[in-house]
Amino acid sequence: MADQGKVDPMHQFEVQKMFDMFHVGNHEVAFTTSAMWMVIAGLLLWVFMIGGMKRQLVPGRWQVAVEGFTGFISGMMNANIGPEGRKYTPYVFSLFMFILMLNVIGLMPLGLFGVHPFTVTSHFAITGFLAILSFAIVLIVGFWRHGLHFFSLFVPHGTPWWLLWLIPVIELVSFLVRPFSLALRLFVAMTAGHVLMKVFASFIIDGVAAGPLVGLGVGIPSMALMVGISGLELLVAGIQAYVFALLTSLYLNDAINLH
């Protein structure tokens, strides 16, 4: 919260340093709130997956839940890439589950227990890292499998000869934009949702401060909207994780099968 009791909707995105660790060059590596939530997400994910490791023929509820997630991603990889996509399922699955966990943790009402929730995926540094990682894997797989033939990606089938000067340029630009769109989409969706919720929350606080009549008149509709938006944000948390994984799988498909 900023000065004069005003709610600053951007404050929630600030990464707090918790303690210093070591230096890399003149860059300091510290344990931060962001790092804490990533560690928690990783551990929660690990605990969740352990529940799926009972490997029973007739699964229990937990195992069904875990197998639902794994089946969802392997089905997507199978549909988008084919049998060769199986090799990349671990990466896409890790990506999907990690992003999903971070998105959902950021939405948990942990403030009720005095903990400051923090949405790691609302940081461009994180989404950018994951997007560049995906893009790098696509490039490595593409050049490793097809060599220079990978550049034929920029000349789609059925390109008329008189457009050969234009299409590859457009394709190249759209290809190079991929990591940015991948990173920005997740970062913007998460940021926007959390800003929106904070803004509506500040409406309630400001309305109450302005008196009981204004407080009720503004607070009740704002609260109702908050409830709806919270549900929507949960949906967005899932959809954005899915979109990130889906686009990664589609880009991988380009690299594996070309066009």
The reply to whether 46 sits near another protein by the rule CB under 8 A is: yes
Asked if 70 is part of the footprint of another protein (rule: CB under 8 A), the reply reads yes
**Which one of 121-129, 161-169, 198-206, 224-232 is the stretch in contact with another protein (CB under 8 A)?**
121-129
Residues 6+ apart with CB under 8 A from 257: 81, 82, 84
Q: Does residue 13 belong to the site contacting another protein (CB under 8 A)?
A: yes
Residue 257 near another protein by CB under 8 A: no
**Candidate list 80, 89, 248, 253; residue touching another protein; CB under 8 A:** 89
Q: Which of 187, 200, 203, 251 binds another protein (CB under 8 A)?
A: 187
89: how many CB neighbours lie within 10 A of its CB?
18
What is the C-alpha to C-alpha distance for residues 63 and 58, in angstroms, rounded to an integer?
Answer: 9
49 or 247: whose CB is closer to another protein? 49
The length of the chain in residues reads 259
Regarding 107 and contact with another protein (CB under 8 A), the answer is no
Closest CA to 122 of 12, 258, 244, 27: 12
Q: Which stretch binds another protein (CB under 8 A): 56-64, 148-156, 162-170, 238-246?
A: 56-64
DSSP state of 203: H
By CB under 8 A, the count of residues binding another protein is 54
200-234 burial: b if 16+ Cβ within 10 Å, else e: bbbbbbbbeeeeeeebeebbeebeeebeebeeebe
Please give the angle made by the CA atoms of 226, 230 and 235, to the nearest 5 degrees: 150
Q: What is the DSSP string of 128-195?
A: HHHHHHHHHHHHHHHHHHHGGGGGGGGS-TT--GGGTTTHHHHHHHHHHHHHHHHHHHHHHHHHHHHH
End-to-end CA distance of the chain: 51
Provide the minimum distance between the beta carbon of 61 and another protein in the complex, in angstroms, as a whole number: 15
From residue 200 to residue 239, what is the string marking binding to another protein with x (rule CB under 8 A)? ----------------------------------------
Among residues 1, 2, 6, 31, the one that binds another protein under rule CB under 8 A = 31
Where do the DSSP E strands lie in the chain?
17-24, 27-32
CA distance 141 to 252: 8
Complex with another protein: residue 183 or 204, whichever CB lies closer: 183
From the list 92-100, 105-113, 142-150, 211-219, the region that binds another protein by CB under 8 A is: 92-100
Q: In whole angstroms, how close is the CB of 227 to another protein at the nearest point?
A: 27
Interface residues with another protein (CB under 8 A)? 10-11, 13-15, 17, 20, 24, 26-32, 34-35, 38-39, 41-42, 45-46, 49-50, 52-53, 55-57, 59, 66-67, 70-71, 74, 89-91, 93-94, 97-98, 120, 122-126, 129-130, 133, 187, 191
